[in-house]
Amino acid sequence: MYDYLIIGHGLAGAILSQRLLEREQKIMVLDQPDQNHSSTVAAGIFNPITGRKMFKTWKADELFPELNSFYPKLESKLESNFFHPIGVYRPYFAIDDQNDWEAKKSDEKFYAYIDKTATSHIEAHQLHDPHGGLFLNQAGYVNILKLLNANKKYLIDKGCYQETMFYEQDLKSHSDHLSFGDLKFKKIIFCNGIMAHQSEWFHWLPFHPVKGEIMDIEMGKRPKTIYNRGVFILPFENQSIRVGSTYKHHFDDMQPTEAGQNELKEKLSGLLNETYQIKGSRAGIRPATKDRRPFIGKHPDNEHIYVFNGFGSKGVSLIPECSKLFTTYLLDGEALDTEIDISRYYSHYPTKPKN
């Protein structure tokens, strides 16, 4: 009998599988990879200071130290190389930003995340950055597809992975365990990304799916770091350069669109000051939530059923820390932070009508 059945091997299921194996739990991971492409499409960027107003991201002081130690350890365990802390260069919008960030540079709230500042162009006119900008530390990207492939191989070698579709109607409840086909297990954890939206167990959680599109381009000089202002330019591992992303709350399919590509071209024209060629594009749906916080915890009506989801556009930075907290919740009975615990939405759960 397995301790845990994990549904989904995106970034959430993959990292959680490692956390549970570290604690010597017996697990099985089921994944049907074509059910969504969020993890495989994602740029994989982690960046502690984001947005037009350059705010420190939620819980950065916990998330960033954790991710910076977690991914290198996972690389050694999986004998793979997917963690690239190459930093982010964020050009200023206006000259006033210079004074602002010169002051913040020595503020202890930001100190750990600022590598250096520039007060004029950093590359001979490759970018529209006449006022210079900010170089961020503890930032970079994870090649998620490479991580998933390495993790899948690891799980297969340990007999902990099956490529198969999980159907909720085939989940059976017994007195002391659950079963799905021949698999018997004590608990089930849904890491099924946006598919949870349609789930009998978790559809009542306020998911807020957001479609995103990314382009691959070729350009003259390859950047050494990630450029980010309104749009990112990411020098990805295998020589391709990724540009993204769009955010669409209303959409009909998962395909890249001409409108998405035009939006990226428009944004790119505000940042990049040289010609480029588009080589391809891709799209996926982010498992985002209405309150922008993850959905983690126990089903209100069934103590054997759990969810680990809702990582939106920040899975790379959220999942290492959240998986650590979730594992201590499951195995040591530690309470979850109320901001991530789905108990904050138990009042949304539709109780069954009484006969």
44 binds ligand FAD (CB under 6 A): yes
From the list 4, 5, 6, 11, which residue makes contact with ligand FAD (rule: CB under 6 A)? 11
From the list 134, 189, 195, 268, which residue makes contact with ligand FAD (rule: CB under 6 A)? 195
Tell me the C-alpha distance between 295 and 209, whole Å. 13
DSSP single-letter state for residue 80? -
Name which of 33 and 65 has its Cβ closer to ligand FAD.
33
In this structure, what token pair is assigned to residue 149?
């492939």
In the sheet that holds 45-46, the strands lie side by side as: 45-46, 140-142, 83-84
140 binds ligand FAD (CB under 6 A): no
151 binds ligand FAD (CB under 6 A): no
From the list 2, 5, 6, 13, which residue makes contact with ligand FAD (rule: CB under 6 A)? 13
* DSSP structure string for 33-62: GGG--HHHH---EE-SEETTTTEEPTTHHH
Tell me the C-alpha distance between 216 and 214, whole Å. 7
Region of 107-115, 263-271, 283-291, 345-353 interacting with ligand FAD (CB under 6 A):
283-291
Going residue by residue from 203 to 222, which x/- string records binding to ligand FAD, judged by CB under 6 A? ---------x-x--------
Tell me the C-alpha distance between 107 and 114, whole Å. 10
284 binds ligand FAD (CB under 6 A): yes
Please state the closest distance from residue 241 (CB atom) to ligand FAD, in A: 14
> What are the Cα distances from residue 265, in Å, to 78, 232, 262, 272?
37, 12, 5, 10
Name which of 132 and 210 has its Cβ closer to ligand FAD.
210
138 binds ligand FAD (CB under 6 A): no
**Where does residue 238 rank: exposed (0-12), middle (13-18), buried (19+ CB within 10 A)?**
exposed
Reference 245, options 267, 203, 214; nearest CA is 214
From the list 21, 25, 33, 343, which residue makes contact with ligand FAD (rule: CB under 6 A)? 33
244 binds ligand FAD (CB under 6 A): yes
Region of 11-19, 49-57, 123-131, 176-184 interacting with ligand FAD (CB under 6 A):
11-19
Region of 1-9, 86-94, 221-229, 269-277 interacting with ligand FAD (CB under 6 A):
1-9
31 binds ligand FAD (CB under 6 A): yes
155 binds ligand FAD (CB under 6 A): no
Tell me the C-alpha distance between 346 and 201, whole Å. 12
From the list 9, 90, 152, 229, which residue makes contact with ligand FAD (rule: CB under 6 A)? 9
Backbone angles phi, psi at 277, to 5 degrees: -120, 135
**Where does residue 216 rank: exposed (0-12), middle (13-18), buried (19+ CB within 10 A)?**
middle
Tell me the C-alpha distance between 165 and 172, whole Å. 16
Name which of 31 and 341 has its Cβ closer to ligand FAD.
31
39 binds ligand FAD (CB under 6 A): yes
From the list 64, 315, 341, 345, which residue makes contact with ligand FAD (rule: CB under 6 A)? 315
Name which of 212 and 297 has its Cβ closer to ligand FAD.
212
Please identify which residue in the block is written with the tokens 């007195």: 175
Please identify which residue in the block is written with the tokens 């021949």: 182
Position with the least CB separation from ligand FAD: 10
Specify the pairing of strand 241-244 against strand 232-235. antiparallel
Contact residues toward ligand FAD (CB under 6 A) are 7-13, 30-33, 35-36, 38-39, 41-45, 165-166, 191-195, 212, 214, 244-245, 284, 286-287, 309, 311-317
